[in-house]
Amino acid sequence: MAVAPHSLAAESAIDVLREGGNALEAMISAAATIAVVYPHMNSIGGDGFWVINGPGGQVGGIDASGASGLKASKNWFLDRGVHDKIPFRGGVAALTVAGTISGWGSAHELSRQHLGGRMPLSRLLADAIFLAQHGSPVTASQAASTKAKLAELKDIPGFAETFLVNDRPPEAGSLFKQPRLAKTLQRIAKEGTETFYRGQLSKLMAQELAKVGSPLAAIDLNRHQAQRVDPLTTTVGVRSVPAGGQAQLFNMVPPSQGVLSLMILGIMDRLKGWHHGPESAEFIHAQVEATKAAFRIRDAHLTDRAFMKRAPSSLLEPAFLDQLAAEISMQRAAPWGSKSKPGDTIWMGVTDAQGIAVSFIQSIYHEFGSGIVLPESGVNWQNRGCSFSLDPAHINTLAPGKKPFHTLNAGLAQCASGSSMVYGSMGGDGQPQTQATIFSRVMQFSDHPQQAIERPRWLLGRTWGAASDTLKLESRFSPQVFESLRGLGHEVEEFGPWDESFGHAGMIVRHANGVLEGGYDPRSNGAAIGF
């Protein structure tokens, strides 16, 4: 089974599985396809993270995020008139290496080493190459995003010629072709993923990046490597049948905010009085208060793990979670003054016949990233580095060769019953909240994954497409829920039904008997496909 926020990506994964490929090979194919057909959400110029349920239930991860260029210092920005905040757009925003291609390469190597994978990159990238050459239909999401961000992006080098039609946003349903990107993908398929960092392609991109004013240089691409890591983990109780008992949860290490997703569920595991229903005010209140507690810890401690002063695993120690949970009131909302982070992303999941599963996330941060599209290679470069602070006292202060804090994280669970789950969402700070929502609805309230995703959702703070820091609820919740939450002291804002601001979620559950259940988000253009 495969689930993706664009049906063509899910189809790419399923076709690989049908041909005898494994979950890692299927995900590489899906990742390449979605980088082509959902360009406002992700590209090969972005970052990625993998959490993998391997043979025998052994869990591993791939950190395919890039660091800032060695020239990217505070003084470099000061010399260019940037004093307070790194711009979101343009060449100066393209200050971190794009790591996602290195993740594809690491996953391909793992597949060959440990899973008997035999499919060449030329096969795994074939769909993406075809769609970039011959075109894919513009989604309503891409058309709306292009229109919404047109003013700030139209003059960025390479954007208009790549994403506009006669200087106007494309119409939904029109054919979108990317011939330069097709040639770059063909090159990667032929020369391997190493060419992106230490081959002829890297030399070309270094020249292109210099021309658009990026601080990245050839040495920054050359020194990048995807890192294989052990994900962080915690254990929570689950109530649903047949998964009752306990579940061990896994998520990505920093600079990902995976620890935040684990903290929220760990705190909720310690709270009482929220099991009234999957759409109840009590459930929402408990999760929102757990989110506030976890965000405060995140903002004080999370950054590139090489720069952290506290071990990420210490944030998941039972005594620490006990303390955070004890500070939460189920009768009153705590103050909320945090300024959370937006971001757009894609999450995808694949589970193969052997139970090997991948929870995967890939992003360029804001819509269309920096907006820069390199003139010859056709790569749209991310702006993840704009999340750095120029304040030397800030936990995420800019330093050369440092990875920026990432909202990206991908969830995986193993249940004592023998079932397993991969799940995730796009949407900046909405990601850990939506993960907690859909996990709890399935594992605490016995929802089917599709039902859990389709129920109305909520989000605290900013997310993709929404800039306010309120508690946002879809209008499909009952009036009593709105009234109860306001009575508890929450600043509630009503959004329309099926609003994309609540992210694109997905999930696959593999039961102990081998039965697969999946769900995709109707807010996206996705699909959950099994065979």
Q: Which residues contact 79 (CB under 8 A, 6 or more apart)?
A: none
The pLDDT score that the predictor gives to residue 474 is 97
Distance CA 48, CA 31 (A): 9
Q: Which among 345, 407, 437, 463 is annotated as catalytic?
A: 345
- DSSP-based helix, strand, coil % in the chain, nearest 5: 40, 20, 40
Q: What pTM did the predictor assign?
A: 0.96
3-state secondary structure of 300: helix
Distance from C-alpha of 525 to C-alpha of 306, rounded to nearest angstrom: 37
Angle in degrees, 0-180, between the axes of helices 318-326 and 281-301, rounded to the nearest 10: 120
Which residues contact residue 524 at a Cβ distance below 8 angstroms, ignoring those fewer than 6 apart?
5, 6, 141, 500, 504
- Is residue 339 over pLDDT 60? no
| Distances 177 to 13, 29, 37, 129, 397 between C-alpha atoms, Å | 21, 19, 9, 10, 39
CA pair distance 478, 475, nearest whole angstrom: 8
Decide if 139 is catalytic: no
Distance separating alpha carbons of residues 530 and 524, to the nearest angstrom: 18
Q: What is the mean pLDDT of the chain?
A: 95
Task: Write down the pLDDT at residue 521.
Answer: 97
pLDDT more than 70, % of the chain: 97
Give the SS3 label for residue 58: coil
How far is 336 from 471, CA to CA, in rounded Å?
A: 10
Q: How confident is the model at residue 241 (pLDDT cuts 50, 70, 90)?
A: low
Give residue 501's pLDDT band: very low, low, confident or very high (50, 70, 90): confident
Q: How far apart are CA 401 and CA 137, in angstroms?
A: 38
User: Residue 104: its pLDDT value, please?
Assistant: 98
Q: Residue 489: what pLDDT?
A: 97
pLDDT grade for 469, boundaries at 50, 70 and 90: confident
Residue ranges per domain, the chain?
Answer: 2-67+99-194+345-384, 229-342+408-525
Output the pLDDT for position 427: 77
Distance separating the N- and C-terminal Cα atoms of the chain: 7
* pLDDT confidence bin for 463, thresholds 50/70/90: low
**pLDDT bucket at 243, cuts 50 / 70 / 90:** low
Work out the average pLDDT over 356-368.
96
Residue 123, amino acid: R
Give yes or no for a contact between 56 and 356, defined as CB atoms under 8 angstroms apart. no
Locate 142 and state its tokens: 């891409």
Topology (CATH level 3) of domain 229-342+408-525: Serum Albumin; Chain A, Domain 1 (1.10.246)
Instruction: Indicate whether 177 pLDDT > 60.
Output: yes
pLDDT digits (tens, 9 = 90+) for 477-493: 999 999 999 999 999 99
Contacts with 477 (C-beta within 8 Å, 6 or more apart), sequence order: 279, 456, 458
| pLDDT given for residue 342 in this prediction | 56
Give the mean model confidence (pLDDT) for residues 382-389. 95
Q: What is the mean pLDDT of residues 318-322?
A: 98
Q: What is the pLDDT of residues 66-106, one digit of tens each?
A: 999 999 999 999 999 998 899 999 999 999 999 999 999 99
Three-state DSSP at 165 gives strand
Locate the DSSP E strands across 227-376: 227-229, 232-238, 245-251, 344-351, 357-365
Q: Are the CB atoms for 68 and 96 separated by under 8 Å? A: yes
